Amino acid sequence: MLSKKAKYAIKALIFIAKDADKSPLPVSIIAEREKIPKKSLESILLELRNAGYLYSKKGISGGYVLSKSPEEISLVGIVRLMDGPIARVSCASAFHYRSCEECLDEAACSIKKVYLKIREEELKILSETSIADMISNEQLTSCNLILEHA
Amino acid sequence: MLSKKAKYAIKALIFIAKDADKSPLPVSIIAEREKIPKKSLESILLELRNAGYLYSKKGISGGYVLSKSPEEISLVGIVRLMDGPIARVSCASAFHYRSCEECLDEAACSIKKVYLKIREEELKILSETSIADMISNEQLTSCNLILEHA
DNA sequence: TATAATTCTATAATATCCATAGAATTACTA
DNA sequence: TAGTAATTCTATGGATATTATAGAATTATA
Protein backbone atom coordinates (compact mmCIF):
# COMPACT_ATOMS: atom_id res chain seq x y z
CA MET A 1 0.00 0.00 0.00
CA LEU A 2 0.97 3.59 -0.58
CA SER A 3 1.69 4.89 2.93
CA LYS A 4 0.03 7.94 4.45
CA LYS A 5 3.50 9.40 4.58
CA ALA A 6 3.78 9.28 0.80
CA LYS A 7 0.26 10.63 0.32
CA TYR A 8 0.99 13.47 2.74
CA ALA A 9 4.21 14.27 0.89
CA ILE A 10 2.47 14.40 -2.49
CA LYS A 11 -0.37 16.49 -1.13
CA ALA A 12 2.01 18.91 0.54
CA LEU A 13 4.09 19.35 -2.61
CA ILE A 14 0.96 19.96 -4.65
CA PHE A 15 -0.24 22.47 -2.08
CA ILE A 16 3.06 24.33 -2.06
CA ALA A 17 3.25 24.27 -5.85
CA LYS A 18 -0.25 25.70 -6.14
CA ASP A 19 0.54 28.57 -3.81
CA ALA A 20 0.51 31.62 -6.01
CA ASP A 21 2.95 33.97 -4.28
CA LYS A 22 6.34 32.45 -3.67
CA SER A 23 6.65 33.45 -0.01
CA PRO A 24 7.47 30.50 2.27
CA LEU A 25 4.55 28.43 3.51
CA PRO A 26 4.74 27.48 7.20
CA VAL A 27 4.04 23.87 8.16
CA SER A 28 1.06 24.95 10.24
CA ILE A 29 -0.82 26.36 7.24
CA ILE A 30 -0.25 23.28 5.08
CA ALA A 31 -1.15 20.97 7.95
CA GLU A 32 -4.35 22.82 8.70
CA ARG A 33 -5.54 23.17 5.11
CA GLU A 34 -4.68 19.62 4.07
CA LYS A 35 -5.77 18.10 7.39
CA ILE A 36 -2.40 16.49 8.02
CA PRO A 37 -1.10 15.99 11.61
CA LYS A 38 1.36 18.84 12.03
CA LYS A 39 4.19 16.84 13.58
CA SER A 40 3.98 14.15 10.95
CA LEU A 41 4.04 16.73 8.20
CA GLU A 42 7.01 18.41 9.86
CA SER A 43 9.17 15.30 9.58
CA ILE A 44 8.00 14.67 6.02
CA LEU A 45 8.84 18.18 4.85
CA LEU A 46 12.20 17.84 6.54
CA GLU A 47 12.93 14.72 4.53
CA LEU A 48 11.78 16.38 1.32
CA ARG A 49 14.04 19.31 2.11
CA ASN A 50 17.06 17.09 2.77
CA ALA A 51 16.38 15.34 -0.52
CA GLY A 52 16.45 18.67 -2.35
CA TYR A 53 12.76 19.11 -3.15
CA LEU A 54 12.23 22.05 -0.84
CA TYR A 55 14.01 25.10 0.38
CA SER A 56 13.27 26.04 3.98
CA LYS A 57 13.49 29.33 5.74
CA LYS A 58 13.65 29.58 9.50
CA GLY A 59 12.31 32.17 11.89
CA ILE A 60 9.28 34.42 11.64
CA SER A 61 7.69 34.44 8.18
CA GLY A 62 9.66 31.24 7.54
CA GLY A 63 8.40 28.07 5.90
CA TYR A 64 8.89 25.92 2.83
CA VAL A 65 9.21 26.75 -0.86
CA LEU A 66 9.70 24.42 -3.83
CA SER A 67 13.30 24.27 -4.95
CA LYS A 68 12.41 22.86 -8.37
CA SER A 69 9.61 23.64 -10.76
CA PRO A 70 6.52 21.40 -10.47
CA GLU A 71 7.27 20.05 -13.95
CA GLU A 72 10.61 18.73 -12.76
CA ILE A 73 9.26 16.82 -9.77
CA SER A 74 8.07 13.36 -10.77
CA LEU A 75 6.13 11.07 -8.48
CA VAL A 76 8.66 8.28 -8.63
CA GLY A 77 11.23 10.16 -6.57
CA ILE A 78 8.74 11.14 -3.90
CA VAL A 79 7.32 7.64 -3.58
CA ARG A 80 10.81 6.12 -3.44
CA LEU A 81 11.89 8.57 -0.77
CA MET A 82 8.84 8.02 1.41
CA ASP A 83 8.03 4.35 0.87
CA GLY A 84 11.24 2.84 -0.42
CA PRO A 85 11.75 0.76 -3.55
CA ILE A 86 9.04 0.67 -6.21
CA ALA A 87 9.45 -3.08 -6.77
CA ARG A 88 7.20 -5.36 -4.76
CA VAL A 89 9.90 -7.97 -4.28
CA SER A 90 13.41 -6.93 -3.36
CA CYS A 91 15.01 -9.05 -6.09
CA ALA A 92 13.15 -6.99 -8.72
CA SER A 93 14.44 -3.66 -7.47
CA ALA A 94 17.00 -1.77 -9.54
CA PHE A 95 18.26 0.64 -6.88
CA HIS A 96 17.76 -1.53 -3.81
CA TYR A 97 18.34 -4.99 -5.18
CA ARG A 98 18.56 -7.72 -2.58
CA SER A 99 17.90 -11.36 -3.29
CA CYS A 100 14.81 -12.56 -1.41
CA GLU A 101 15.78 -14.38 1.76
CA GLU A 102 13.41 -17.25 1.12
CA CYS A 103 14.51 -17.72 -2.49
CA LEU A 104 15.97 -21.09 -3.47
CA ASP A 105 16.85 -20.44 -7.11
CA GLU A 106 16.67 -16.84 -8.21
CA ALA A 107 17.66 -17.51 -11.82
CA ALA A 108 14.64 -19.75 -12.29
CA CYS A 109 12.24 -17.76 -10.08
CA SER A 110 9.11 -16.99 -12.02
CA ILE A 111 7.80 -14.74 -9.26
CA LYS A 112 10.75 -12.46 -9.92
CA LYS A 113 10.00 -12.37 -13.62
CA VAL A 114 6.38 -11.40 -13.13
CA TYR A 115 7.24 -8.71 -10.63
CA LEU A 116 9.97 -7.29 -12.84
CA LYS A 117 7.26 -6.62 -15.43
CA ILE A 118 4.99 -5.09 -12.82
CA ARG A 119 7.76 -2.89 -11.52
CA GLU A 120 8.52 -1.70 -15.03
CA GLU A 121 4.94 -0.62 -15.63
CA GLU A 122 4.60 1.12 -12.31
CA LEU A 123 7.94 2.86 -12.77
CA LYS A 124 6.87 4.12 -16.17
CA ILE A 125 3.66 5.64 -14.85
CA LEU A 126 5.29 7.17 -11.79
CA SER A 127 8.19 8.69 -13.70
CA GLU A 128 5.93 10.12 -16.38
CA THR A 129 3.75 11.91 -13.84
CA SER A 130 4.93 15.22 -12.41
CA ILE A 131 3.51 17.43 -9.69
CA ALA A 132 2.50 19.81 -12.48
CA ASP A 133 0.55 16.96 -14.14
CA MET A 134 -1.16 16.21 -10.85
CA ILE A 135 -2.29 19.81 -10.53
CA SER A 136 -3.64 20.11 -14.05
CA ASN A 137 -5.34 16.76 -13.56
CA GLU A 138 -7.15 18.09 -10.47
CA GLN A 139 -8.24 21.19 -12.32
CA LEU A 140 -9.37 19.14 -15.26
CA THR A 141 -11.71 17.30 -12.94
CA SER A 142 -13.26 20.37 -11.39
CA CYS A 143 -13.68 21.70 -14.92
CA ASN A 144 -15.51 18.53 -15.92
CA LEU A 145 -17.74 18.82 -12.89
CA ILE A 146 -18.65 22.39 -13.82
CA LEU A 147 -19.38 21.32 -17.39
CA GLU A 148 -21.52 18.44 -16.19
CA HIS A 149 -23.66 20.84 -14.20
CA ALA A 150 -23.82 23.41 -16.98
CA MET B 1 5.62 -5.51 -0.81
CA LEU B 2 4.51 -8.97 -1.76
CA SER B 3 4.32 -10.80 1.57
CA LYS B 4 6.13 -14.02 2.33
CA LYS B 5 2.70 -15.53 2.74
CA ALA B 6 1.87 -14.82 -0.90
CA LYS B 7 5.26 -16.07 -2.06
CA TYR B 8 4.84 -19.25 -0.04
CA ALA B 9 1.37 -19.77 -1.50
CA ILE B 10 2.60 -19.38 -5.07
CA LYS B 11 5.59 -21.64 -4.47
CA ALA B 12 3.42 -24.29 -2.86
CA LEU B 13 0.90 -24.26 -5.70
CA ILE B 14 3.69 -24.53 -8.25
CA PHE B 15 5.20 -27.40 -6.28
CA ILE B 16 1.92 -29.25 -6.08
CA ALA B 17 1.19 -28.62 -9.75
CA LYS B 18 4.58 -29.98 -10.76
CA ASP B 19 4.06 -33.18 -8.80
CA ALA B 20 3.72 -35.86 -11.39
CA ASP B 21 1.49 -38.44 -9.71
CA LYS B 22 -1.74 -37.08 -8.40
CA SER B 23 -1.55 -38.60 -4.92
CA PRO B 24 -1.97 -36.06 -2.12
CA LEU B 25 1.15 -34.18 -1.01
CA PRO B 26 1.50 -33.80 2.76
CA VAL B 27 2.42 -30.37 4.14
CA SER B 28 5.63 -31.73 5.57
CA ILE B 29 7.04 -32.66 2.15
CA ILE B 30 6.22 -29.30 0.58
CA ALA B 31 7.58 -27.44 3.60
CA GLU B 32 10.81 -29.38 3.60
CA ARG B 33 11.47 -29.17 -0.13
CA GLU B 34 10.53 -25.50 -0.48
CA LYS B 35 12.12 -24.50 2.86
CA ILE B 36 8.91 -23.03 4.18
CA PRO B 37 8.15 -23.11 7.95
CA LYS B 38 5.72 -25.99 8.26
CA LYS B 39 3.19 -24.29 10.50
CA SER B 40 3.06 -21.20 8.32
CA LEU B 41 2.55 -23.33 5.25
CA GLU B 42 -0.17 -25.25 7.04
CA SER B 43 -2.29 -22.15 7.55
CA ILE B 44 -1.63 -20.98 4.00
CA LEU B 45 -2.70 -24.28 2.44
CA LEU B 46 -5.77 -24.22 4.63
CA GLU B 47 -6.73 -20.83 3.25
CA LEU B 48 -6.09 -21.98 -0.30
CA ARG B 49 -8.24 -25.00 0.35
CA ASN B 50 -11.09 -22.93 1.77
CA ALA B 51 -10.89 -20.70 -1.27
CA GLY B 52 -11.26 -23.69 -3.56
CA TYR B 53 -7.75 -24.00 -4.96
CA LEU B 54 -6.96 -27.25 -3.20
CA TYR B 55 -8.61 -30.45 -2.20
CA SER B 56 -7.38 -31.92 1.06
CA LYS B 57 -7.40 -35.46 2.29
CA LYS B 58 -7.02 -36.27 5.97
CA GLY B 59 -5.40 -39.17 7.73
CA ILE B 60 -2.52 -41.35 6.74
CA SER B 61 -1.44 -40.86 3.11
CA GLY B 62 -3.40 -37.61 3.22
CA GLY B 63 -2.31 -34.24 1.94
CA TYR B 64 -3.19 -31.62 -0.67
CA VAL B 65 -4.04 -31.87 -4.36
CA LEU B 66 -4.91 -29.12 -6.85
CA SER B 67 -8.64 -28.83 -7.41
CA LYS B 68 -8.22 -26.91 -10.68
CA SER B 69 -5.81 -27.31 -13.53
CA PRO B 70 -2.67 -25.12 -13.36
CA GLU B 71 -3.89 -23.26 -16.45
CA GLU B 72 -6.99 -22.15 -14.61
CA ILE B 73 -5.19 -20.71 -11.59
CA SER B 74 -4.11 -17.14 -12.21
CA LEU B 75 -1.83 -15.22 -9.88
CA VAL B 76 -4.31 -12.46 -9.26
CA GLY B 77 -6.58 -14.65 -7.16
CA ILE B 78 -3.76 -15.99 -5.04
CA VAL B 79 -2.25 -12.58 -4.40
CA ARG B 80 -5.64 -11.11 -3.55
CA LEU B 81 -6.39 -13.94 -1.16
CA MET B 82 -3.06 -13.72 0.61
CA ASP B 83 -2.26 -10.00 0.54
CA GLY B 84 -5.60 -8.33 -0.02
CA PRO B 85 -6.54 -5.83 -2.73
CA ILE B 86 -4.23 -5.31 -5.71
CA ALA B 87 -4.68 -1.53 -5.63
CA ARG B 88 -2.15 0.45 -3.66
CA VAL B 89 -4.74 2.93 -2.43
CA SER B 90 -8.09 1.73 -1.15
CA CYS B 91 -10.04 4.21 -3.29
CA ALA B 92 -8.59 2.58 -6.43
CA SER B 93 -9.73 -0.91 -5.54
CA ALA B 94 -12.58 -2.48 -7.46
CA PHE B 95 -13.47 -5.29 -5.05
CA HIS B 96 -12.53 -3.61 -1.78
CA TYR B 97 -13.27 0.02 -2.54
CA ARG B 98 -13.08 2.31 0.46
CA SER B 99 -12.49 6.03 0.20
CA CYS B 100 -9.15 6.96 1.78
CA GLU B 101 -9.63 8.27 5.30
CA GLU B 102 -7.36 11.24 4.76
CA CYS B 103 -8.97 12.23 1.47
CA LEU B 104 -10.52 15.68 1.23
CA ASP B 105 -11.92 15.58 -2.30
CA GLU B 106 -11.93 12.19 -3.95
CA ALA B 107 -13.41 13.37 -7.24
CA ALA B 108 -10.47 15.71 -7.78
CA CYS B 109 -7.81 13.44 -6.27
CA SER B 110 -4.98 13.01 -8.73
CA ILE B 111 -3.29 10.38 -6.56
CA LYS B 112 -6.33 8.19 -7.12
CA LYS B 113 -6.13 8.68 -10.87
CA VAL B 114 -2.48 7.69 -11.06
CA TYR B 115 -3.00 4.64 -8.89
CA LEU B 116 -6.03 3.54 -10.87
CA LYS B 117 -3.74 3.30 -13.87
CA ILE B 118 -1.11 1.42 -11.90
CA ARG B 119 -3.71 -0.99 -10.56
CA GLU B 120 -4.97 -1.65 -14.05
CA GLU B 121 -1.52 -2.57 -15.33
CA GLU B 122 -0.73 -4.79 -12.38
CA LEU B 123 -4.10 -6.47 -12.61
CA LYS B 124 -3.55 -7.19 -16.27
CA ILE B 125 -0.21 -8.87 -15.68
CA LEU B 126 -1.40 -10.86 -12.67
CA SER B 127 -4.57 -12.08 -14.37
CA GLU B 128 -2.73 -13.07 -17.52
CA THR B 129 -0.24 -15.21 -15.61
CA SER B 130 -1.26 -18.71 -14.56
CA ILE B 131 0.50 -21.30 -12.44
CA ALA B 132 1.07 -23.21 -15.67
CA ASP B 133 2.80 -20.13 -17.14
CA MET B 134 4.98 -19.88 -14.05
CA ILE B 135 6.09 -23.47 -14.44
CA SER B 136 6.93 -23.21 -18.13
CA ASN B 137 8.73 -19.97 -17.38
CA GLU B 138 10.93 -21.73 -14.81
CA GLN B 139 11.70 -24.52 -17.23
CA LEU B 140 12.43 -22.02 -19.97
CA THR B 141 15.09 -20.51 -17.72
CA SER B 142 16.80 -23.78 -16.89
CA CYS B 143 16.71 -24.55 -20.61
CA ASN B 144 18.43 -21.26 -21.35
CA LEU B 145 21.04 -21.98 -18.73
CA ILE B 146 21.77 -25.34 -20.31
CA LEU B 147 22.01 -23.72 -23.74
CA GLU B 148 24.34 -21.05 -22.40
CA HIS B 149 26.70 -23.70 -21.13
CA ALA B 150 26.45 -25.81 -24.26
C1' DT C 1 -6.78 -49.48 17.46
C1' DA C 2 -2.59 -47.07 16.34
C1' DT C 3 -0.80 -43.86 13.28
C1' DA C 4 -0.10 -39.94 10.50
C1' DA C 5 -2.03 -36.59 8.59
C1' DT C 6 -5.17 -32.22 8.61
C1' DT C 7 -7.77 -28.72 11.31
C1' DC C 8 -8.26 -25.11 14.57
C1' DT C 9 -7.21 -21.73 18.19
C1' DA C 10 -4.01 -19.12 20.60
C1' DT C 11 0.02 -16.62 21.17
C1' DA C 12 4.89 -15.00 20.91
C1' DA C 13 8.22 -12.24 18.42
C1' DT C 14 9.24 -8.94 15.24
C1' DA C 15 8.78 -5.13 12.25
C1' DT C 16 6.51 -1.21 10.38
C1' DC C 17 3.60 2.72 10.48
C1' DC C 18 1.74 6.74 12.44
C1' DA C 19 1.38 10.21 15.69
C1' DT C 20 3.10 12.87 19.53
C1' DA C 21 6.22 15.26 22.90
C1' DG C 22 9.57 18.42 23.93
C1' DA C 23 13.86 20.74 23.74
C1' DA C 24 17.31 23.18 20.73
C1' DT C 25 18.18 26.27 17.15
C1' DT C 26 17.51 29.93 13.99
C1' DA C 27 16.24 34.39 11.99
C1' DC C 28 13.28 38.09 11.53
C1' DT C 29 11.17 42.31 13.60
C1' DA C 30 9.72 45.60 16.75
C1' DT D 1 18.81 43.42 21.66
C1' DA D 2 15.03 40.95 23.32
C1' DG D 3 11.03 38.44 21.97
C1' DT D 4 8.60 35.70 18.84
C1' DA D 5 7.55 32.36 15.57
C1' DA D 6 9.19 29.37 12.89
C1' DT D 7 12.30 25.15 11.68
C1' DT D 8 15.27 21.33 13.34
C1' DC D 9 16.27 17.21 15.82
C1' DT D 10 15.80 13.23 18.88
C1' DA D 11 13.12 10.13 21.29
C1' DT D 12 9.25 7.49 22.19
C1' DG D 13 4.53 5.56 22.57
C1' DG D 14 0.95 2.89 20.57
C1' DA D 15 -1.42 0.57 17.04
C1' DT D 16 -1.34 -2.66 13.44
C1' DA D 17 0.46 -6.24 10.46
C1' DT D 18 3.46 -9.95 9.58
C1' DT D 19 5.70 -14.10 10.51
C1' DA D 20 6.63 -17.99 13.13
C1' DT D 21 5.50 -21.25 16.76
C1' DA D 22 2.88 -24.33 20.12
C1' DG D 23 -0.37 -27.57 21.21
C1' DA D 24 -4.71 -29.85 21.30
C1' DA D 25 -8.63 -31.74 18.54
C1' DT D 26 -10.17 -34.19 14.66
C1' DT D 27 -10.15 -37.32 10.93
C1' DA D 28 -9.33 -41.30 7.96
C1' DT D 29 -6.61 -45.05 6.69
C1' DA D 30 -4.03 -49.31 7.32
> How much is the average pLDDT of A6-25?
90
Measure Cα distances from A147 to A88, A130, A144, B40, B62 in Å. 40, 26, 5, 55, 64
pTM value > 0.85: yes
C-alpha B66/C-alpha A12 separation (Å) is 49
Low-confidence ranges of chain B (pLDDT < 70): 20-21, 142-150
pLDDT at A11: 95
Q: How confident is the model at residue A19 (pLDDT cuts 50, 70, 90)?
A: confident
Chain A positions touching B89 (Cβ under 8 A) are 1-2, 7
Q: Which amino acid is at A50?
A: N
Cα A81 from chain centre: 8
Q: How far is it, in rounded angstroms, from Cα B59 to Cα A6? A: 50
Dihedral sign computed on CA atoms, order A22, A26, A27, A33: negative
pLDDT at site B150: 60
Q: Which residues contact A148 (CB under 8 A, 6 or more apart)?
A: none
pLDDT at residue B70, rounded to an integer: 96
**Size of the A and B interface in Cβ pairs below 8 Å:** 93
Q: pLDDT tens, B13-43?
A: 999 999 866 788 999 999 999 999 999 999 9
Nearest residue (CA) to C1' of D6: A59
Detail the protein residues whose CB sits closer than 7 A to any atom belonging to strand D: A 26-28, 39, 42-43, 45-46, 49-50, 56-60, 62-64, 102; B 3-5, 8, 37, 39-40, 42-43, 57-62, 83-84
A49 and chain B in contact, CB less than 8 A: no
Q: Do A88 and B2 touch (CB under 8 A)?
A: yes
The separation, in Å, between residue B57 CA and nucleotide C9 C1' comes to 21
Confidence of residue A22 (pLDDT cuts 50, 70, 90): confident
* pLDDT for the residue numbered B142: 65
Average pLDDT for A126-141: 92
pLDDT of residue B19: 86
Q: Are B111 and A5 in contact (CB under 8 A)?
A: no
CB neighbour list of residue B102: distance below 8 Å, 6 or more residues apart: A4, A7, A8, A35, A36
